Amino acid sequence: MPSDRYTGLAAVLGAIRSSADITQPLLVERVGLGRSVVAQRVAELEAAGLVVSDGFGPSTGGRAPRRLRLHAEAGYVLGADIATNELVVGVADLAGNLLDTRHRETDVVDGPDAVMGAVEEMAGELVEEVGAHRSLWSFGVGMPGPVAYDDGGPAALPTMPEWSRHPTRRRLTDRFGVPVWMDNRTNLSALGERRVNPVAARSQHMVYLGGGYGIGAAVVVGGRIHRGAHGLAGAIDHVPVPGAADVVCRCGRTGCLEAVAGGAALARDGRLLAETGQSPALADVLGRTGRIRPSDVTEAAGSGDAAARALLHRAAVLLGRSLATLVNVFDPDLVVVGGGIARARAHVLAAIREEVHRSALPAVTRDLRIEPSAFDQEIAGITGAVEFALGELFSPEHLPTVLDARAGGTPDALAEERALPA
């Protein structure tokens, strides 16, 4: 367990990180510690180069208090958002401000060696570009499936057997010399949402529905991501859908939500609409490109194609029914619809809302808000990955090693912050 000293340091640092205009007197009010204790903690953080003065705040009768801010320029963190069919890698300062990103189409079925090789290449380019060799602090990674948060590795899944055996964290730690943290990318998208969306940041009980080719949900309870006993909470992608027993899922079972309403299902069913001539718009896309993507279905629906609209409406109804179960169980005050689903918001959001209100308990939905993500979806996951890396780095459990490394002048020592599974 962290000592009171490091708990206090983390609380003070967290308050400074989350405020653009804070002074030492305001810190006393914010963190609930005595003035002398706050002064000591601020002094320690300043000595470590994590906090700097930034002018003066308003005076209340005496000398004007110093404004404090995180020394964002002191270092960098990396983030990677690994989706089923695409990859985004970014670099940010210690305040979580993205400085640059790289994007590439990929396919997780190619295996971890190919995908992680691309991550290493893209991250290496970013490190070179910003000159972060000696000031890189941590790396946050969002995975396209559940992560066993207790040991930090991908959970054993029939859809990703090679990934569950791959030493992803150790590989990245060895390559970049910093601690690496991993989580489900949907959880990280929810963290990113809470960073940029004031409504989500204020919500203490939230469900985030996301997904691209797959489907996922993140649950926020008491202002924190609820991961469950093994980090697998919110995994609704493989819950059974009544009446869909003949649809085979990539997990080997039949009738899973992902198999009938996920992005891959939209692409599959959209191709069928194109091939049978039921959707002229999709038939045109298939003829020109030889493939159908979920975004093609959304664009066809936007152009007025009736078959594409009907396909999206059916997916929205199924998503709403499954989402209603999470709403009943966790009683959130906010549901955010993000991921690839958010790109089709004009065609799915009303149907999702209607189905949630129809299927969930009236007392639970009385003041429930169901809103689209505030994000450009290409950077939602990467923003969350960076926020995750910083949150772990500056937590009471890991802050002692950060301070020790800063005192020793050896940022690379952060890589030895805790033992990583081989």
CATH code for the domain of 66 = 1.10.10.10
Phi, psi of 140 (to 5 degrees): -110, 135
Residues 102 and 210 in one domain: no
Shared domain for 175 and 221, answered yes or no, is no
Q: Are residues 159 and 273 part of one domain?
A: no
pLDDT digits 0-9 by tens, 79-126: 999 988 889 999 999 999 999 999 999 888 888 999 999 999 999 999
Supply φ then ψ for residue 405, to 5 degrees: -65, -40
For the chain, give the mean pLDDT. Answer: 89
Q: Which domain holds residue 350?
A: 203-372
Domain contains 422: no
Sheet holding 334-337, edge to edge: 224-225, 216-221, 205-210, 334-337, 369-372
Helices (H) and strands (E) in the chain, counts: 18, 15
Question: What CATH number did the domain enclosing 349 receive?
Answer: 3.30.420.40
Give domain status of residue 83, yes or no: yes
The answer to whether residue 91 sits within a structural domain is: yes
Helix segments in 262-337, DSSP class H: 263-275, 280-289, 294-302, 306-330
**Does 214 share its domain with 345?**
yes
Residue 414 domain flag: no
Asked whether residue 123 falls in the same domain as residue 265, the answer is: no
Residues 223, 362 within the same domain: yes
Residues with Cβ < 8 Å from 399, sequence gap 6 or more?
A: 2, 6, 9, 10, 13, 393
* 297 or 380, higher pLDDT: 297
224/363 same-domain check: yes
285 assigned to some structural domain: yes
Alpha-carbon distance values, 123 to 33, 85, 96, 226 (Å): 40, 18, 16, 29
The pLDDT-based confidence of 369 (bands split at 50, 70, 90) is: very high
Give pLDDT, residue 281. Answer: 97
Query: Terminal CA-to-CA distance of the chain, rounded, Å?
Result: 25
Q: Whole-angstrom Cα distance, residue 290 to residue 287?
A: 6
Q: Is the pLDDT of residue 396 over 80?
A: yes
| Whether pLDDT at 162 is above 90 | no
Radius of gyration of the chain (CA): 23
| pLDDT (tens digit per residue) in 330-346 | 999 999 999 888 888 88
Q: Are residues 80 and 66 in the same domain?
A: no
Residue 419 pLDDT exceeds 80: no
Clarify whether residues 186 and 309 are in a common domain. Answer: no
Q: Which amino acid is present at 322?
A: S
Q: Which band of pLDDT confidence, cut at 50, 70 and 90, is reported for residue 253?
A: confident
State the total domains in the chain.
3
Looking at the domain assignment, is residue 198 inside a domain?
A: no
> CB–CB of 8/33 below 8 Å?
yes
Q: Average pLDDT for residues 317-326, to the nearest whole number?
A: 94
**219 and 355 housed in the same domain:** yes
Write the DSSP assignment of 237-276 as a string of letters.
Answer: TTSB-TT-TTSBPTTS-BSBHHHHHSHHHHHHHHHHHHHT
Whether residue 235 lies inside any domain: the answer is yes
pLDDT given at position 418:
42
Co-location of 97 and 36 in the same domain: no
Answer left, alpha or beta for residue 347, where phi above 0 means left and psi between -120 and 50 means alpha: alpha
Residue 354's Cα: distance from chain center in Å?
Answer: 26
Q: How far apart are CA 385 and CA 379, in angstroms?
A: 10
The answer on pLDDT for 186 being more than 70 is yes
Alpha carbon 288 to chain centroid, angstroms:
34
Q: Which letter, b or e, does each residue of 329-339 get, where b requires 16 or more Cβ atoms within 10 Å of its Cβ?
A: ebbbebbbbbb
In a domain, 303, yes or no: yes
Statement: residue 373 has pLDDT above 60: yes
Separation between Cα atoms, residue 382 and residue 351, nearest integer Å: 28
- Does 256 share its domain with 401? no
